[in-house]
Structure formats: C-alpha cells, structure tokens
Structure 1
Amino acid sequence: MNTQLFIPVFSTLLLTISSGTLAASHNKLVYLNQYDLDNNGELALTEFDQARKQRFDLTDEDHNGLVDENEYVFEYQNRMDKQLAEDRLNQVKQTVVRFKSLDKNDNGRVEWSEYQASGERSFTHYDGNQDNVINKDEPPKSRPNAQKPNEELQTAQQIEDEKQLALQRAKRLLRMPSTHSSNGFFSKYDSDQDGIISRAEFDQRRRNDFDLTDEDKNGWLSQQEYLFEYENRLDQQIARTRKGAIKQTYVRFNILDKDKNGGMTFAEYQLSGHRSFNRWDTNQDGVVSMLDPEPEQRRYAKDDKANNTGK
C-alpha cells in the first residue's frame, strides 16, 4: 500500500473518530479490520464474501446451513463480551494514570486539595466569562491546540501505531460518561438540571464524590479506593451496554431473516453485506480501501443497521 497516500487520509480519519459522530460499527477502519483477511489495506468483493462466509459458518454451530436466532445472538454476545473485557482493562489502566496525575506530590494518596485542583481547572474551562456561574449556552474557554506531528517526518511504525490506536478507539463498546464535553459536564454537575452550574453547586458535587470514594474516611484517597469507585461504575455501565446490545441483536436477526422462517440463509445474510460493501466502495472499483472517498452520511435503514453492528 502507498504509505504517502495513506497518511493524509488516515489523519482525516482520526479527526472523524475523535469527533464521536460515527459509531464504531459505521467506521471504515473497523470495517476493513473485520473483513480484510490478508491485512493489506484493500478489501476486494471476493475477499469480503470469503470473510462473510467464514463468519456465517462459525456462527452456524450445528452446520445445517442456517443460522437460527440463538446461534446468531450467541456469536455476537461472545464477541461483544471479549471486546467489553478489553475495553474494561484499558479503562482501568487509564484510571491508574489519572490517579497518578492527580497525586501531584507522588505520595500515593490524593488529598482533597489535589482533587479539587483538577476540578478547578475544569470549572475554569467551562466558565468562559469567569463569573463563577456556568451557563449551558456559554462558550468555554479555548484550550491550546495540541501540536500535530509532521506527517512527512512520521515513520511507518508511527503511522501504524496511530492506526492501531484509532482502531482501538473505534472498536470500543464501553463508553463512560465524560466531563470532557459540555453535555457530559452538565449531566454530572447540574444537580437541579436548570441549565446553570454555580460554583457552590459544583464544589458540593465534587465534595460528595470525594467523600463517597474515601471509604475509610481518613480524608484522602488511596489508589485502591479510587480504582474501586470507578470499577463499580464501569461494571454498571457494562451491564447496561450488554443489556441494550443483546436486545438489538434479536431485532437485527428478525430483520435479516427475510422469510421469517427462523433460519437465516447465507444469501439472506449477504443481502445486507453487499449493501454495506457498495456503500463503502464509493469509487465503484470493486475494492474498499482507505483511499476511497468517505460515503455521504445518511440515516440508516433497518437493514443497514443489521449489518453495521458487526454482523
């Protein structure tokens, strides 16, 4: 694959992923990762059909040439649980990083002053006019833009590392609420949901969170306490994610099973598959690659949803 051509295309992709506007299952990088068997960055229709047939046969556990509802749900649930376990591990690793970032004096504990200093930075960012009141319509202070690497100087390994990081982010199923967005910030700190966060309201929520995490009530947080509180929320989010995803898997099966006989044939499976391939093959050359222009964003029909959730 031409690395020089790949660099600007991949950089554009990174912006798309980081914006959060597309679900991972609607992401070309994930799509290629699922079906590009020889991992050469190009997916021909014959290769796509082969990959789809392999997945269909693996899902068809009794090898009768049909995939029933239980087989379909079980296969997806198995892949989902593996991805959720990977996501959880990565989240826990990042939580350790956050703890060490909060522990400014490196004494293995986060004291209230250290915890509140982080909150102060967040409040100041969203309080654009610095009046100690954050309004939902108030534009936040702009953060300094991170310096982008010089793409012409990047090595092949650096490009590959960025690609793998982008792929990991795009495949992620476990998404925790984040205060890095205005909506997430208000969801957490606007206790009375009036669209305004006062300094007192913000400080009280921060204090409540700190005290709740401080299980032994000694006035500071150990790494174990910090991790335990976050892991508890992680596991609650995993349970919600699994419940919703499994429910949607039953819906997808009913969409794919066109004749409603309880058994999906490979031909039925491929009706959705070929629509997805044609959508990504925007230059209509029979090959999907990162060099294809992005398709127009559109509302997905039910049949497309059945394919674009990883089946």
Structure 2
Amino acid sequence: MSVSSRASASLMGRRALRICSLAAVLSFAAAQGAETTEAGKAMPTGGHTGNAFIGTWDDDGDGKVTRTEYDTVRKTRFATTDGDSNGSLTIEEYVNEYAVRLDRDIADERNASLKQTDTRFKALDKDQDKFISRGEYDGSGDRAFVHLDRNKDDRITNDDADPAARETSRRRSIIGMPTSHNLAGMLEIYDDDGDDVLTREQYDAHRAKAFAATDANKDGKLDHDEYVNEFNARLSQQIDDRRQAQLKQGRVRFKAIDANENGGISSDEYFAMSTRMYDRADTNKDGVVTQDDPPPVRERRQDEQAVTSQVQTP
C-alpha cells in the first residue's frame, strides 16, 4: 500500500471511529431524554429570543416567561452545574452541563430527521413500487430548482432571494443539515465551485453523481435502505462536525462570561449574563417574554440566512 493510500485509510478509520463514538454518545443521550433539572423541566439548548426562549425557560407551560420564573430556573441550573457546590463554575462544569443538553437535543433532532427522510422516500416514490426511479428522482430535482429560480434565468443566485420570506424567531436546528427547500441550502449543497452561482448544468451534474453514489447495487433505482443509508452517513458526519463546533463555542462563551478572567464563573457573573439574555428576549420591554416580542434586528438578519431543520435528501 502506498503512503498516500495508508494516509487515506487512516483518515477514513479515524472518521469512522468518530462517527461510531458519536453514535454511542447519542444512544446514551436518547436514553437520558427524560432527564430533568431539579425544577422538573428538561432544559434544551434553546435559543435566546421568541419561541426558542419560551420553550427553554417557560417552566409552568403557560406560553410566557416572567422574570421571576426565569431567575428561578436559572438559579436551579447554576446549582445543578456547580458539581462541587463551591459557588463557582469551572470550564469543565460549564461545558459538561452544556454537552449533556446538546447531546439530548441532537439525538431528538437526529431521530426526527431520519423519520422525515422515511416520509420523503414515500413521497418521491410516486408509483409506490418501493423504489425511487431515476425519473422520479429527476422530477423532484427539477421541481426544487424551478421553485428557487425565481427570475427564471436557469441559474440560482442571491438575486433569487424571496423578499417576502417570512421572518421567524423559532428555534434553529442544532444539526443544521442544509436543505434544497431554501436558497442558502441549495447553494451550500450544489454550488461546488463556491461562486454563489448555481447553473442548471452544475445542478444536474451534481445530482447525477449523487444518484449514482446512492445506488449501491447499481440497478438504476434507489431502494429504501440505499436512500436512508446515504442520508444517514451525511447526517452522522454533519453531527460530528457541528457537535465539535458547538462545544468549542461553549468554551468561548465561558471565557466571555468569566469577566474577571480568574478561570471560574461566579454566581454574580452568571446572573449578569442571565440579565442580558432576558433583556434581549424582552424586546418590547414589558417585563414578560411572550410570542408578542418581535425578534431583535440582528436576530432577523440571521434568520434570513439560517438553515432550517428540514433535511435535504437525494
């Protein structure tokens, strides 16, 4: 075996090991899905505004978050995270607590994504023969391209953005699989040269290669296992990449909250951050966070580019 072949095999082995290790983590997280805080509510990783904020901090389930309710749950989380009960959080305590919530949310979203993939297979199998033919596959691709090519110039670019796209403050996908249902996802998946211009020729060539790669037994059609296995492989790699990035970001957040840079987050530092989070979510400044609070300007700009939780399958 050549040096380059051995290096490639080693890389593939490490990647496979990461995915297998991740699968074990997610299986554990799924088993722990019912785990709750001392306040009796499972804490998702959540978001900082709108429905995402309410879903995370609405402890009594009434669709709103008062400041008293929020502070109570935050105090419980601090106490739970402070494993040695010394009144200060180490970086390990902070990141490990986040990792437990992150893995639980990833496991939930992964299961939902796989369920959606099964549903999509059935939708693409128009003649219900339990296979996706090349014609059915190409028909789906054609509809997706035509839908996003709003100016009908046989290219998809940022000029095709829908100015009437609905703003949303819903919680974003943790996994962040790109989807051909929106402009950003379509370009991320198919714009191989990264010039933000997707021609019909590029698109068709990419999809032809994807079909051939997914058709494991080379019979010219995709069965259910081929379709799901291809997506599952991409999903596992995406999860691995995103999980590592999220945990790295957790360490960055720790340093930002540790205002005096002493290597620990005191309760004062923790609750100062809590105040900033609540004030940011309470955009209409009425002292209660509800669905009536519009997203902040910055949040709206991010949402226009955010990848939805829908998944792209071949």
Partner amino acid, structure 2, of 1:64: N
CA contact (8 A) 1:177 1:184 kept: yes
Question: What is the CA-CA distance between 1:137 and the residue it aligns to?
Answer: 5.7
CA contact (8 A) 2:124 2:140 kept: yes
Partner amino acid, structure 1, of 2:240: A
Describe the SS at the equivalent of 1:274: helix
Match of 2:155 in 1: 134
Q: TM-score, normalised by structure 2?
A: 0.72
Match of 1:264 in 2: 265
RMSD: 2.9
What stretches of structure 1 of length at least 5 have no aligned partner?
A: 1-22, 146-165, 300-311
Give me the whole-angstrom Cα distance separating, in 2, the residues matched to 1:142 and 1:273.
35
Question: What is the CA-CA distance between 1:135 and the residue it aligns to?
Answer: 5.1
Question: What is the CA-CA distance between 1:200 and the residue it aligns to?
Answer: 3.5
Match of 1:170 in 2: 171
Question: What is the CA-CA distance between 1:71 and the residue it aligns to?
Answer: 0.4
Give me the whole-angstrom Cα distance separating, in 1, the residues matched to 2:289 and 2:264.
30
Question: What is the CA-CA distance between 1:175 and the residue it aligns to?
Answer: 1.2
Match of 1:253 in 2: 254
Q: TM-score, normalised by structure 1?
A: 0.72
CA deviations 1:31-83 (Å, max 9, x no partner) are 12222222223322222211111000110111222211100000001100100
CA contact (8 A) 1:73 1:250 kept: yes
Partner amino acid, structure 1, of 2:98: Y
Match of 1:67 in 2: 89
CA separation of 1:135 and 1:71: change in aligned 2, threshold 3 A: closer
Partner amino acid, structure 2, of 1:112: R
Match of 2:132 in 1: 110
CA deviations 1:73-110 (Å, max 9, x no partner) are 00001100100111100100110111111111111111
**41-50 or 202-211, which moves further after superposition?**
41-50
Question: What is the CA-CA distance between 1:120 and the residue it aligns to?
Answer: 1.7
Describe the SS at the equivalent of 2:65: strand
Question: What is the CA-CA distance between 1:198 and the residue it aligns to?
Answer: 4.2
**133-142 or 246-255, which moves further after superposition?**
133-142
CA deviations 1:116-138 (Å, max 9, x no partner) are 1111212333445656x315266
Whether 1:187 aligns to 2:208 is no
What stretches of structure 2 of length at least 5 have no aligned partner?
A: 1-44, 300-314
CA deviations 1:202-261 (Å, max 9, x no partner) are 322211100100111111111111000001110111011111111111111111122222
Partner amino acid, structure 2, of 1:297: V
Whether 1:78 aligns to 2:79 is no
Match of 1:228 in 2: 229
Give me the whole-angstrom Cα distance separating, in 1, the residues matched to 2:87 and 2:281.
28
Describe the SS at the equivalent of 2:171: helix
Describe the SS at the equivalent of 2:123: helix
Give me the whole-angstrom Cα distance separating, in 2, the residues matched to 1:294 and 1:141.
21
Give me the whole-angstrom Cα distance separating, in 2, the residues matched to 1:283 and 1:137.
32
Out of 120, 123, 128, which is 1:98 matched to? 120
Match of 2:238 in 1: 237
Q: Percent identity?
A: 37
CA separation of 1:68 and 1:140: change in aligned 2, threshold 3 A: closer
Aligned length: 253
Match of 1:54 in 2: 76
Partner amino acid, structure 2, of 1:178: T
Question: What is the CA-CA distance between 1:142 and the residue it aligns to?
Answer: 11
CA separation of 1:139 and 1:265: change in aligned 2, threshold 3 A: closer
Partner amino acid, structure 2, of 1:38: D
Out of 96, 111, 135, which is 1:89 matched to? 111
